[in-house]
Amino acid sequence: MSFPDADPDDAPPEHWRYARHLEALAATPGGSAEAEVVATVLRDPDRVMAESAVVTHLDRRAAGLLADDGFTAWERAMSGVLAGRPFPERRLREWSLLKAVTRGEPWSAAELTGASDWCQRTAVRLLGSCEALELLAADARTRRVRNAAAERLRRRPAVPRSECPGLPG
């Protein structure tokens, strides 16, 4: 957001660095080069800003890789550079959980109900798993997520009962 009367020279330097970090991360093709750029960003003296830029990048990249076979290699590369940084590490773990649910890989109800509000909201928005949506409709941490999951289930196109047990049929 910009303000017409604001002088860009008056913006705090961390705002400019944040924007430059996001640009550099978005321009990185992936693989080891991406991990190197993430590591460079994390060396910024403003830890909170740097981690925020990295988490924004993780969200963008992971959403695009959710159903891609390259997710696992990307996750491995990112986990190496995120070690010791609780917030980015948790976000990456939660993207891994979302990937598992998306791809029908093993996941547990405890993982999803214990996930952050962000993860639960994202799950309701992105996932098509009836099991995950039913779980969140019943046991999500917030009423907002429970209601959104229930609404997603109500609006689903007709699905064979075997694919979505527990739905009215």
Residues 6+ apart with CB under 8 A from 47: none
Instruction: List Cα–Cα distances, 49 to 21, 22, 66, 154, in angstroms.
Output: 10, 11, 25, 40
Q: Which strand (E) or helix (H) includes residue 30?
A: none
Per-residue pLDDT of the chain (169 residues; tens, 9 = 90+): 343 444 556 778 888 999 999 999 999 987 889 999 999 999 999 999 999 999 999 999 999 999 899 999 999 999 999 999 999 999 999 999 999 999 999 999 999 999 999 999 999 999 989 999 999 999 999 999 999 999 999 998 765 545 565 444 4
Ramachandran category for residue 104: left, alpha or beta (phi over 0 → left; psi -120 to 50 → alpha): left
- Kindly report the pTM of this predicted structure: 0.85
d(CA 56, CA 22): 8
